Amino acid sequence: MGYYNYHAQVINRIKQGKLKSYHFEKNYKGIGFALVLKFDDKKFPIREKHFEIYFDLIGNYYLTQKIFDEYFTTPINFEKDY
């Protein structure tokens, strides 16, 4: 069986914009308190010691994406008088 870098795979999916939702669970299947990231095909539980990495990544990616979508995908009206 080949090497599987769990966090690299999850981070890559987030950067590709595939994250659908996330939530916290008190007792996730033997892990305990976990951040659960939901994608189309799979859930990934994240242990508490890794929360900061994912909070930064999710916040930065989605904030940047929202700003980009709002300001750079809106049609510009060049005929408007300023």
- pLDDT for res 21: 85
- φ, ψ of residue 29 to 5 degrees: the values are 20, 65
What pTM did the predictor assign?
Answer: 0.69
Tell me what pLDDT residue 20 has.
Answer: 87
List phi, psi (to 5°) of 25. Answer: -130, 135
22 pLDDT higher than 60: yes
Contact 31, 47 (CB under 8 A): yes
How large is the average pLDDT for residues 55-81?
Answer: 65
